[in-house]
Structure formats: structure tokens, C-alpha cells
């Protein structure tokens, strides 16, 4: 059974006509939970969260050696951590990268996480996307 989610307009971008595919997600790290709304990014190799979100999940990211990542605009430092994510009752483990120096709201799911767990169909002509989770035993 799939879920259809309308693309969302983003504050500050109203005049551009840009809409973004956003998905509700709950991250779990032991007994710590944090629910937010993540950008679904087929161009992102892996998921990222900000240090603010990592702190809320009680992730001791400063103790994890930093690695260097690259994006279109610049390079960045990140700390990979294992957490659990839950999207509409579909729970799965994933490695998410805590990225230093990014905006607090940044939470992106990419190809190594949500795209491996679900078939995601972007329907740009309808301004919506469909998520169909794989049934895994």
C-alpha cells in the first residue's frame, strides 16, 4: 500500500514556484526519538541530519571521527551514525550523517536509506510523489 504526498512549498521560496518533496520521519536512537519532516532527495547518496537534530537524539557525534563529504556547493564535515527511522510504521535501520555547520532544519533522506526501502515515484506533473514500501521479512 502506497502513500501519496503532495510536494510542499517552502517559506522564502514562494515566489520561485519551487515545491519540495517532504516526508515525515521519526528517528530513534535508543530511547531517544525525534520526529521531523525530511527532504526526499534522489540526488543525495545518503541521508543527513544537522547537529541540532543529532543532539536531540543524544547522538555523541563529536566522539565520532569526522569525514569529508562533497556537495555541489562545497565540501563539509560529517560524522556517520547508525539510527533507526520510522516512516508511516515502516521501521528500518540506516546510517545517517551528522553534518557540521548546516542549518538546523536540514534533514535529508537519500538513496542509501529511504530509496532502498521503498519504491519512490516522483510525479512532477501532479506536484506529488508516491512512496511504496517494500515488504521485507
Partner 1 sequence: MKQIKINLVKLLKGYKPGWVGISPDFKKVLVWGKTLNEATKKAKTNKEKIYYFPSGESYSNFVGIICYGNNNRL
Minimum gap (Å) between residue 56 Cβ and partner 1: 6
- Per rule CB under 8 A, is residue 56 in the interface with partner 1? yes
Q: What sections of the chain are H helices per DSSP?
A: 51-56, 114-117
56 DSSP 8-state letter: H
The answer to the question of residue 127 lying near partner 1 (CB under 8 A) is: no
d(CA 107, CA 91): 17
121 touching partner 1, by CB under 8 A: no
Which residue carries 530513534 as its cell?
Answer: 28
Check residue 52 for interaction with partner 1 (CB under 8 A).
yes
Choices 22-30, 58-66, 77-85, 116-124; region in contact with partner 1 by CB under 8 A: 22-30
Using CB under 8 A, pick the residue from 68, 72, 101, 137 that binds partner 1.
Answer: 72
The backbone torsions φ and ψ at residue 113, rounded to the nearest 5 degrees and listed phi first, read -120, -85
CA 130 to chain centre: 16
13 is a contact residue toward partner 1 (CB under 8 A): yes
CA atoms in the 13 A half-sphere facing the CB of 65? 1
Residue 58 binds partner 1, judged by CB under 8 A: no
| Grid cell listed for 129 | 510523489
**Residues forming the site for partner 1 (CB under 8 A):** 1-6, 8-18, 20, 22, 24, 26, 34-37, 39, 52, 56, 72-73, 88, 103-106, 130
Amino acid at each position: 500500500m502506497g502513500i501519496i504526498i503532495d510536494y510542499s512549498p517552502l517559506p522564502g521560496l514562494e515566489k520561485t514556484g519551487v515545491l519540495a518533496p517532504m516526508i515525515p520521519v521519526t528517528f530513534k536512537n535508543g530511547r531517544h526519538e525525534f520526529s521531523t519532516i525530511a527532504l526526499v532527495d534522489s540526488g543525495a547518496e545518503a541521508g543527513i541530519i544537522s547537529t541540532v537534530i543529532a543532539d536531540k537524539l543524544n547522538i555523541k557525534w563529536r566522539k565520532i571521527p569526522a569525514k569529508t563529504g562533497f556537495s555541489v556547493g562545497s565540501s563539509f564535515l560529517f560524522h556517520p551514525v547508525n539510527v533507526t527511522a520510522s516512516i508511516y510504521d515502516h521501521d528500518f535501520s540506516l546510517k545517517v550523517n551528522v553534518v557540521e555547520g548546516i542549518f538546523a532544519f536540514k534533514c535529508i533522506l537519500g538513496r542509501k536509506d529511504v530509496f532502498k526501502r521503498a519504491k519512490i515515484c516522483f510525479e512532477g506533473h501532479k506536484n506529488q510523489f508516491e512512496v511504496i514500501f517494500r515488504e521485507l521479512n
